[in-house]
Structure 1
Amino acid sequence: MLNAAGDGGAPASHDPNDARHAVVSDLAGLIEHVQSSLRRIEEMIARNTSAGGPESSTGVIVLDDVSPRYMKAAAAVQACEVNLGIALRSLLGSGADDPYAASLPTLAVVGA
């Protein structure tokens, strides 16, 4: 598919399994990237909500307008992970008979 755009990549295979494996591989890579992004967002949320600094010892409460944005971003990234997982599982079917499925990332959120 990329070769059709003239990117100089390998010639496209006409084997449907190769094409499916390429799409599955791309989806798996996206899922891993999304999971990495989610971990980073969760680390930033933890850093922002962790106790510390002089404000906590003096009883002063600082309203943090950044954490809600991180929470919204985390929810959006989780939704992406769910949808990518659904797409991946639909391409794989049951996955039990596909040895290629064993090498794919574990989905943390997808249960449906």
Structure 2
Amino acid sequence: MLNYAATPPLAAMAETDSRQLIAAELRSLIARIEISMRLIDAAMEPEDDSAIVSANLGSTEIVVLDDVTPRYATASAALNACRAELARALQKLSESGNSA
């Protein structure tokens, strides 16, 4: 967990500086979310496609129970929604900076 005890309060900074700091933090969060989404995508990919194909050719009685993919898909959707909202917040912040 990060320790923000030594972080100077935003109220003591110039408005432009605090806006830039907030924008940088939003961009950082967006990048971290994108990394998490790539990790989830990689975890959902089958490790060996050839094993699945050969198993499917040999029998029609194969049933694959996958209880992890729905949870990964749900987590990915939640991260996608977070990323969209953070991007929206970043856009609103940049719009408020242009009007000043």
The structure-2 alpha-carbon separation of the partners of 1:38 and 1:89, relative to structure 1 and needing over 3 Å to count, comes to: same
Supply the distance in 1 between the matched residues of 2:43 and 2:6 (Cα, whole angstroms): 40
Supply the distance in 2 between the matched residues of 1:63 and 1:55 (Cα, whole angstroms): 14
SS in 2 for 1:47: coil
Supply the distance in 2 between the matched residues of 1:30 and 1:45 (Cα, whole angstroms): 23
Amino acid at match of 2:35: S
Equivalence for 1:41: 40
Deviations 1:47-81 (A, max 9, x none): 37955356445332312111111111110110010
Supply the distance in 2 between the matched residues of 1:49 and 1:68 (Cα, whole angstroms): 20
Structure 1 runs, 4 residues or longer, greater than 4 Å off: 10-13, 48-51
Equivalence for 1:58: 58
Q: 2:6 aligns with which of 5, 8, 15?
A: 8
Deviations 1:4-30 (A, max 9, x none): x7x234575431000001110110000
Equivalence for 1:32: 31
Aligned: 1:18 with 2:4: no
Supply the distance in 1 between the matched residues of 2:65 and 2:51 (Cα, whole angstroms): 14
Q: 1:87 aligns with which of 86, 89, 95?
A: 89
TM value normalised by structure 1? 0.66
Superposed CA RMSD: 2.8
TM value normalised by structure 2? 0.74
Percent identity (aligned): 31
Which of 1 and 2 has greater Rg? 2
Equivalent residue pairs, number: 91
What does 1:97-112 align with in structure 2 at a 5 Å threshold? none
Q: 1:78 aligns with which of 77, 80, 87?
A: 80
